[in-house]
Structure 1
Amino acid sequence: MSAASPALLHRLKRISLVTQIIIGLIAGIALALLAPEVAKSTTLIGKLFVTALKAVAPILVFVLVMASIANHKVGQETHIRPILYLYLLGTFAAAVVAVVVSTMFPSNLVLTTHDVAISAPGGIGEVLQSLLLSVVDNPVSALMNANFIGILAWAIGMGVAIRHAGDTTREVLGDLSNGVTLIVRMVICFAPLGIFGLVASTLATSGFGALIGYVHLLAVLLGCMLFVALVMNPIIVFWKLRRNPYPLVWTCLRESGITAFFTRSSAANIPVNLELSKRLGLHEDTYSVSIPLGATINMAGAAITITVLTLAAVHTLGIAVDIPTAILLSVVAAICACGASGVAGGSLLLIPLACSLFGIPSEIAMQVVAVGFIIGVLQDSAETALNSSTDVLFTAAACLGEEQKNPA
């Protein structure tokens, strides 16, 4: 028995992380169907995994970005600017897709009165103000509250300052970065077990009964996200690389999208994306900045959610939408998506802002937000999978595209 155990562990180590996650997923579904009461008790396992990811993500981003900038050699190429262009293009394109699909397949909502105590922004100016305040947030507060915009700002500032320090200081910072990365890898090793707990407890507790009344709305939402993931994003990547984009697209969806689907947090999936970027052989100085930045501003899934739910409310109320207003909605949805927090349900709080374009009062808009939380089991999971996998996809596309232009 003692000899068999190490052999079993050795075999498990040889199985890819994605395969282990699929096994955990199947086991979680089976447990929820066969023993619901037992499955409910696995909630702690899932919470421990997600909490561990969320705990390590802020300090990882801070240390990794700071070390990357501090140890950056003068004259060394990075590709942040083309990645930013791809992030913004992808988010706006997703909003346009959502407008077109929502117009072709309009959704109706049953808007009833709900007392939902949620604080939502009152206008686009408030979103921009919030972003600026996040940049100048206290560094300790930013780390404690996972304010990634503030963390990035302080990491960049400290990294630039430490570039002028001695070699020993920069070496210590590099060693600290390697140490935090090692801890992240250890946390990621527990992904299959964490996803097993998340799936089992979610299915046993909630199930999908609450989703039956919103099948059409979910079909529009998920259809838009699938179209962006499998058609729009590959087109953008092909435009950048001029070669078959699907091997890279499938890799990002499989390696990043699956874990993001279950953690439902772009911020929590940052360590997974950093690890994938390393395995893809991307430039560390680039992806150590672009991945956490993408978790904040690359929000194609959020743009789709904001647009689809807003237009569902518009159609339900019989409000006419002309082309200029639809274009304006796409722009606003893209900007709002950049301001969505990297936590579960973050995009839903920005729906009232988009609804205000059509004169929809906040009382009705908050009912739409409530609908979003009802379907969040699937909507938010798919949204996060699209957002997070696209972070790696566009980072890889930009890095590989620049390498093609300037081969070593």
Structure 2
Amino acid sequence: MNSVDTPAESTVAPDPAGPAAPRRPRFGLLPRIAVAIVLGILLGLVMPEAIARVFTTFNGLFSGFLGFLIPLIIVGLVTPAIAELGRGAGKLLAATAGVAYLSTIVCGFFALALSLLVLPGMLDGAEVVSLENPEDSAIAPYFSIEIPPVFEVMTALVLAFCLGIGLTLVRRGALQESFEQLRTIVVRTIEAVIIPLLPVYIFGMFLGLTMNGQIWTVIGTFLAVVLLVFAMTVVVLLAQYTVAGLAVGKNPLRMLWTMAPAYMTALGTSSSAATIPVTLECTKRNGVPEAVAGFVVPLCATIHLAGSTLKITTFSVAIMLVTGMPIDIWALAGFVLMLGVVMIAAPGVPGGAIMAAAGILSSMLGFSEAAVGLMIASYIAIDSFGTATNVTGDGAIAAIMGRLSRGRVSGDLSVDEAPHLQGT
């Protein structure tokens, strides 16, 4: 197996003219987000209001477009993801997907419990009475345009589930291909429009927070929550490899150390898909059969986002606390369960997980557009740590699946029996 593409990439045909010339290294998304935050804070101290209103106007338009796009993101990503999970290598696919979902929601509930226990004390006194929407800010926009979505977020979720499950029951045909093409369109829109403009949106948000006097509370919240998230990722990885070590009868710390190259690679790339070759090699060095590793690792790179779920859950609770939103434990529990499903649709682009989760943040937790924007900024700021947790945990799941499938798996399942991973 030479390479494995994410579902979003699998629908793009190779260039018949041959491989393109090597691209020059680009200024990555994380550095651009960091620069946008710093400039927003510094210029917010000196910028005239007339100029600041330009960015407030842009933020209103951008948030409106993002709100319009979110239901389409859900339908375009969740529908084909569910349809593809219903096909493939039978029991091994179902068992792997079940273990990955269990791992994801257990991490989510762990993050939820610890956040509710620790964050109220950590963030005591750090309160923003109301996090302003860009269009409701004290810095008024020059104009605003309403962009109503085609349908509501919950309608999109139910529609995606019905269509996705329905597609697993019929022969693959034009409808399946249409949703795969819709997924490509959605992902390309995220890559070509949302991601490039995101630093400008975050700049405008932090500019407004600075001029409204809310910025230091937000920064203090960020730093405290980042430390908590990092500590939780360490606990999660130790727990995952303790279970895997017990399953295969090996030292969990040694297994975790063997996965260190995958962890470090993910820190540098912020991409589960780009880290697949390293994750695969480390997993095989832990004694996982090649056939099992070649199937489970690429699959989990798409559906196992325990670290991402942990981050989103923790920052959600933090933002709810500092903005004075009511804490409804049952709503948060439902949010975690739904988040575990939505994560399987995260496209292979930086920040894809939080884009896929934006809809349920607003529909299930009542997040405003500004709160969702703040979630996007905080998520991407530590995106690489969540990705590193995701891919390292993939090795633990592969070890467990190797133990469960011992003597029952032969051959290379990595591509031929996993259609949603084809495109090599």
TM-score (norm 2): 0.53
> Which residue of structure 1 lines up, in the alignment, with residue 230 of structure 2?
222
Runs of 5+ consecutive residues of structure 2 not aligned to the other structure? 1-22, 29-87, 136-144, 168-175, 188-215, 410-424
Residue 321 of structure 1: SS of its match in structure 2? Answer: coil
Cα distance per residue 1:38-83 (max 9 Å; x no partner): xxxxx944779xxxxxxxxxxxxxxxxxxxx8xx9xxxx9844443
Q: Cα distance, 1:386 vs. partner?
A: 0.7
The letter of the residue matching 1:91 is: T
**Mapped pair 1:396 → 2:403:** no
Contact in 2 for aligned 1:261/1:382 (Cα 8 Å): yes
Contact in 1 for aligned 2:335/2:360 (Cα 8 Å): no
Of 236, 254, 271, which aligns to 2:243?
A: 236
Cα distance per residue 1:146-185 (max 9 Å; x no partner): 98xxxxxxxxxxxxxxxxxxxxxxxxxxxxxxxxxxxxxx
Distance 1:140 1:367 in 2: 28
> Which residue of structure 1 lines up, in the alignment, with residue 316 of structure 2?
310
> Which residue of structure 2 lines up, in the alignment, with residue 197 of structure 1?
none
Contact in 2 for aligned 1:264/1:343 (Cα 8 Å): no
> Which residue of structure 2 lines up, in the alignment, with residue 299 of structure 1?
305
Write the mapping of 1:128-139 to structure 2, written as runs, cut at 5 A: 136-137=176-177
Distance 1:284 1:128 in 2: 38
**Mapped pair 1:96 → 2:109:** yes
> Which residue of structure 1 lines up, in the alignment, with residue 326 of structure 2?
320
Q: Cα distance, 1:88 vs. partner?
A: 1.3
> Which residue of structure 2 lines up, in the alignment, with residue 191 of structure 1?
none
Cα distance per residue 1:235-255 (max 9 Å; x no partner): 432453355322212222x02
Cα distance per residue 1:75-107 (max 9 Å; x no partner): xx9844443332111101110111012112225
Write the mapping of 1:178-197 to structure 2, written as runs, cut at 5 A: none
Distance 1:269 1:144 in 2: 21
> Which residue of structure 1 lines up, in the alignment, with residue 385 of structure 2?
382
> Which residue of structure 1 lines up, in the alignment, with residue 350 of structure 2?
344
Distance 2:257 2:160 in 1: 35
> Which residue of structure 2 lines up, in the alignment, with residue 259 of structure 1?
265
The letter of the residue matching 1:393 is: A
Cα distance per residue 1:217-243 (max 9 Å; x no partner): 21122222222112x313432453355
Contact in 1 for aligned 2:248/2:399 (Cα 8 Å): no
The letter of the residue matching 2:406 is: E
Distance 1:390 1:89 in 2: 12
- 1:100 to 1:328, Cα distance in 2 relative to 1, 3 A: same
Distance 1:368 1:261 in 2: 22
- 1:405 to 1:249, Cα distance in 2 relative to 1, 3 A: farther
Residue 406 of structure 2: SS of its match in structure 1? Answer: helix
Q: Cα distance, 1:356 vs. partner?
A: 2.7
> Which residue of structure 2 lines up, in the alignment, with residue 249 of structure 1?
256
Contact in 1 for aligned 2:306/2:389 (Cα 8 Å): yes
Distance 2:376 2:105 in 1: 25
Cα distance per residue 1:240-280 (max 9 Å; x no partner): 3355322212222x021110111001122122223334444
Distance 2:104 2:223 in 1: 25
> Which residue of structure 2 lines up, in the alignment, with residue 273 of structure 1?
279
> Which residue of structure 2 lines up, in the alignment, with residue 356 of structure 1?
363
Residue 274 of structure 2: SS of its match in structure 1? Answer: coil
The letter of the residue matching 1:228 is: V
| Structure with the higher fraction of residues in helix conformation | 1
Q: Cα distance, 1:300 vs. partner?
A: 0.3
Contact in 2 for aligned 1:124/1:336 (Cα 8 Å): no
Distance 2:253 2:185 in 1: 37
The letter of the residue matching 1:297 is: I
Write the mapping of 1:151-162 to structure 2, written as runs, cut at 5 A: none
- 1:146 to 1:234, Cα distance in 2 relative to 1, 3 A: farther
- 1:285 to 1:129, Cα distance in 2 relative to 1, 3 A: farther
Q: Cα distance, 1:141 vs. partner?
A: 5.3
Of 87, 100, 123, which aligns to 2:100?
A: 87
> Which residue of structure 1 lines up, in the alignment, with residue 153 of structure 2?
123
Q: CA RMSD in A?
A: 4.1
Distance 2:362 2:298 in 1: 29
Residue 403 of structure 1: SS of its match in structure 2? Answer: coil
Identical positions, percent: 23
- 1:124 to 1:224, Cα distance in 2 relative to 1, 3 A: farther
| Number of equivalenced pairs | 270
Distance 2:226 2:178 in 1: 39
Distance 1:122 1:222 in 2: 34
Distance 2:311 2:248 in 1: 29
Of 371, 378, 382, which aligns to 1:372?
A: 378
Contact in 2 for aligned 1:333/1:354 (Cα 8 Å): no
Distance 2:338 2:263 in 1: 26
> Which residue of structure 1 lines up, in the alignment, with residue 9 of structure 2?
none
